[in-house]
Amino acid sequence: MRILSVAFGLLLLVACSSTPTWDGMSESEIAAWKEIGVNVEQVQTYVRAGMSQPQVKEFIDQKFTDPAKITSWGQTFTAIDARGWIDSGFDLTAAKDWAANKFSFEEAAAWASADFDLDGAKKNRDKGLTPVK
């Protein structure tokens, strides 16, 4: 019986210590996060990803709701650019590839809508050409 009691106590201690808290944040920081509708678990996700409250707010303003999507896109793009890539039909991997080759989402969308893949778009752009449908 004593072993069961000790095991329960350890389980309770571990469970309590892993619960996200607002510890380490000022009242104004907490209020700012809550103002944009973010709960403590989400804040922990954003903070671990190195994102600030204003950065997360920009994503929320661009109609992002999924913390995983916000953190993944936020590692590479601003909220406005991320929204542009998504609205242009690109997933994160493709957006990173096109952006790494100095294409904006507008340019990439124009090339893609003219049936060019990234390699074809690069070759033709390097020749001074623009996409034609």
Report if residue 58 sits inside a domain.
yes
pLDDT value, residue 132:
83
Report if residue 75 sits inside a domain.
no
Question: Do residues 95 and 110 touch, judged by C-beta distance below 8 A?
Answer: no
Query: Tell me: the pLDDT tens digits for 63-98?
Result: 999 999 999 999 999 999 999 999 999 999 999 999
Report if residue 9 sits inside a domain.
yes
pLDDT value, residue 68:
96
Report if residue 119 sits inside a domain.
no
Q: Of residues 1 and 23, which shows the higher confidence score? A: 23
Question: How much of the chain exceeds pLDDT 90, in percent?
Answer: 80
pLDDT value, residue 56:
98
Residue 10 above 90 pLDDT? no
Report if residue 59 sits inside a domain.
yes
- pTM of this prediction? 0.81
**CA pair distance 87, 106, nearest whole angstrom:** 10
**CA pair distance 122, 107, nearest whole angstrom:** 11
- Look at the chain and report how many structural domains it folds into: 1
Report if residue 3 sits inside a domain.
yes
* 115-119 mean pLDDT: 97
Q: Of residues 30 and 7, which shows the higher confidence score? A: 30
Mean pLDDT value across the chain: 89
pLDDT value, residue 5:
53
Lowest mean pLDDT segment, chosen from 10-19, 27-36, 90-99: 10-19
Report if residue 78 sits inside a domain.
no
**CA pair distance 83, 81, nearest whole angstrom:** 5
Q: Which domain holds residue 2?
A: 1-64
Report if residue 54 sits inside a domain.
yes
Question: What is the phi/psi pair of residue 73, to 5°?
Answer: -70, -35
Comparing CA positions, the residue from 87, 67, 90, 70 lying closest to residue 79 is 70
Degrees to nearest 5, angle at CA 53 with 74 and 98: 15
pLDDT value, residue 21:
87
